[in-house]
Amino acid sequence: MIETAFTPFQSLGGGAFIGLAAVFLMATMGRVMGATGILAGVIQPANMSDWSWRVAVLLGMISGPAVVFFVTGDFPAIQVPISTTMMVIGGFIVGVGVTFGSGCTSGHGVCGMARLSPRSIVATITFMITTGITVYVVRHVFGG
């Protein structure tokens, strides 16, 4: 059975850093911090200056484990209790959802909700309901 760790302080800290990064990006670049939009702009950049800030944001996102190692001396423990095939299928489903939903959880859930965007509020509610249903089905119907 999958057990979810209760980490309120780490979660609060991570959420605060994400919020601060979103505010900083909006204040300095006038851009919304939607992770999939940032990644899409790296893959198909509009121009070089647009590409460079997106790469900087992505490097900041993936450097977290190195920062944890520098501070604590250990890399964070990561356990993925599903197969690679399931991760690829899940990634594909998320990619389709991001395309049809015109954004991801960071764009809608963090930035859109902060701007009181009706579309983002509906999208975030949809994400949360879908997540709850998915967790219930995986844990209690499939027995994961």
What amino acid is encoded at 110 in this protein? V
pLDDT digits (tens, 9 = 90+) for 13-35: 988 988 998 999 999 988 888 88
User: How many Å is the Cα radius of gyration of the chain?
Assistant: 17
Residues 6 or more apart whose CB falls under 8 angstroms from that of 32 comprise: 22, 25, 26, 107, 111, 112
Domain boundaries, the chain: 8-141
Q: Are 45 and 122 in contact (CB under 8 A)?
A: no
Residue 5 has pLDDT above 80, yes or no: no
Distance from C-alpha of 32 to C-alpha of 110, rounded to nearest angstrom: 9
pLDDT attached to residue 122: 93
pTM of the entire predicted model: 0.74
Q: What is the mean pLDDT of the chain?
A: 87
Share of the chain above pLDDT 90, in %: 25
